[in-house]
Every structure is written in C-alpha cells, then in structure tokens.
Structure 1
C-alpha cells in the first residue's frame, strides 16, 4: 500500500509517496507541472523514474505516463459517464486498464480484464487529505501511481473549469 496527499497540485508543492510503514519510496515534483504541464516522479536517490504530462491539444483530458523514458500509457477521461468518473489507461498492446469511481466519495478501482489491480481510497485512512493506494501483486506501482496523478490532475482541471480546447 502507498500513501499520497489528496490535493496534489493545488499549490504546486512537492510531496512524497510513502509505503504503509511511512518510508518514502517516491518523490513527486509538483512545481514542474505548472510550468511545463509535466510531473516528475523520482526515486529515493532523486533520479527520475517516471513522469506524467498533459497533452495540450486533445478532445478530452489526456495524460501520458513515461516510465524509464519509455511511453508506458496514456490516461484518457471518457467523454460521457453519468454519475461516475471513468478513465482508460491505454498501455502498449492489448492489456489496457480502466479506472472508475466516484468523485464525491474519492473511491476508485483500477481494473485490467475485469480483475482489480489497484484500489484508491480516502476511507482506508483517518488522516484527512491523504489517499491510500493498494496495488495488487504483479501490477506496476509506478504505472498505478502515475495513473492516480493523471486522475487528480484531470479532476482538478474539471473543478477549475478548464478545458482542453
């Protein structure tokens, strides 16, 4: 399980992603996003291991996740999904993932071929403004954390009324 702050980029602060024991496993540079539409995920040594950036020209919110310099996925919000938020996590090949959940409850699941590979929740913790991210065995934690960052960025843009036009 990983623990991350809720409002990632509302102020543009850097923050750490911790494991269930409170040990820092990743550092996220949130200041980069406001300047270059890009978020950098670093390991404990300060080396970039992944990034998330927003496509500036897209019909719907679209974010690219790069891991180790290689494109790992594109996260796209589905255009019409009443009562729920749905995102496609398009990975190279046939094994796409889907992230769906409820914006008001801050509860999301990430599924691949109908199997849950991650759960994102505020309910698992009593600390306000934090998410718990439970990653299933065999799932790539960087891909999952990058997808959650893309989700938060897209929802924050929606809340502020920004469009991708």
Structure 2
C-alpha cells in the first residue's frame, strides 16, 4: 500500500501545490487556473507530463465538475437541488465512494474492490489529506478525485461567502 500526502498552502494565490510520498518527495504537481474561465486544475507527474485535468463546467444552472485521467473522463461531481444543505453526487463508471467525502474521510471502490482511502489530517496549517492507495493503477485517479472534491468544496465555500456579503 502506497501513502501520498496532499498539503495545500493557505494563502496561495496561484493555486499551486504538490503531492508528496512518504519520504516527502514530490510525486505530483497541481496547478489551478487562477482567475480564468473555465476553472481548471492540471495534475502533472514528476516529469511534467499532464496526467489529469479537473474542469468546472462554465455555463450550467448547477455547478458541475469533470475529472479526466490520461485523457479519459472518469467521473463527474455535480450539485443537486436542495433547499437546506448542499447535496453533491459523484457519477463514475465502476467507481464508488463510501464514507463522508464532504469531510474528506472516505474509501474508494472499483467494481466492489477497495482501491484507496482518504483521510483529512487535523491540526495542520492549511488543508492536508492522507491518500492510501491500495491498487497502484488507480493512484492518479485517487489524486484527481481528492483534488476535485477539494475544488468543489472551495467553490461552495466561495459561493456561500459571496451570498453572505450580498444579503
């Protein structure tokens, strides 16, 4: 089982951060499109090759995020209609997420077999997540899933703070 760590910088305006292994070596580089439409996050490997892309659909009634790994769309995260609380769903062929993915504590299954687990690290400066990869061929997909969920959460937090300023 491989363990990876994602730690975002709290005050990073350029939306760049790295994914590290247990020896604290950089494994992936994540770069967001600051102030660009559509909102995108690129995930690159050590050699600088793009391995995943997260894109927020620009003109949609409800927020929708698409996740591509190695050029193929693997999942979509979309907001549903709800009056009391934000409700999001993850649509993916063969991939299921069990647990509290909104709080970043969940397991990922593919065709019924566990492929990884994500836990939020507490008492850290910025958001930090531990990603345990059971099936190494799903490593990039696991990282893309965590970054996508974090992007959805940040988008929701931004919408909530904007709404509070306008009321």
Bin of the TM-score, shorter chain as denominator length: 0.7 to 0.9
Higher strand share: 2
In structure 1, list runs of 5 or more residues that go unmatched: none
Deviations 1:38-96 (CA, angstroms, capped at 9, x unpaired): 1111111112121111112345432112222232322334555x8897531413xxx13
In structure 2, list runs of 5 or more residues that go unmatched: 163-167
Give the superposition deviation at 1:120.
Answer: 1.6
Q: Which residue of 1 is the match for residue 77 of structure 2?
A: 75
Cα 1:102–1:96 change in 2 (3 A) is: closer
Q: Which residue of 2 is the match for residue 46 of structure 1?
A: 48
Find the aligned partners of 2:91 and 2:118 in 1 and give their Cα distance: 15
Rg larger for? 2
Q: Which residue of 1 is the match for residue 108 of structure 2?
A: 110
Cα 1:84–1:134 change in 2 (3 A) is: farther
2:36 maps to 1:35: yes
Aligned residues: 157
Deviations 1:86-128 (CA, angstroms, capped at 9, x unpaired): 531413xxx132254164x5423333455543222124x7644
Higher helix share: 2
Off by >6 Å, runs of 4+ in structure 1: 7-10, 82-85
Q: Which residue of 2 is the match for residue 97 of structure 1?
A: 96
